[in-house]
């Protein structure tokens, strides 16, 4: 998810927020029957798990 930026009080909170924000577009595509972005097409609606790389900077 290029351009995704989140902030939190702790690293754990920030990661939780990032996961939630990254999940929403995927869930929306599946819910509305829209195609997933090309980088996420291997993910299927049957509950596959997506792993998205995250860069953490202080």
**Per-residue pLDDT tens over the stretch 16-50:** 888 888 888 888 888 999 987 777 666 555 566 66
The whole-number pLDDT of residue 14 equals 86
By the 10 Å C-beta count (0-12 exposed, 13-18 middle, 19+ buried), 5 is classed as exposed
Domain extent for 7: 1-58
Identify which has the larger pLDDT, 53 or 34: 34
How many domains is the chain partitioned into structurally?
1
- DSSP three-state, residue 55: coil
């Amino acid at each position: 998810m290029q351009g995704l930026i989140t902030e939190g009080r702790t690293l754990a909170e920030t990661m939780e927020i990032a996961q939630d924000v990254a999940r929403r577009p995927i869930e929306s595509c599946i819910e509305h029957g829209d195609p997933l972005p090309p980088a996420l097409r291997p993910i299927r609606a049957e509950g596959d798990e997506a792993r998205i790389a995250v860069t953490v900077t202080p």
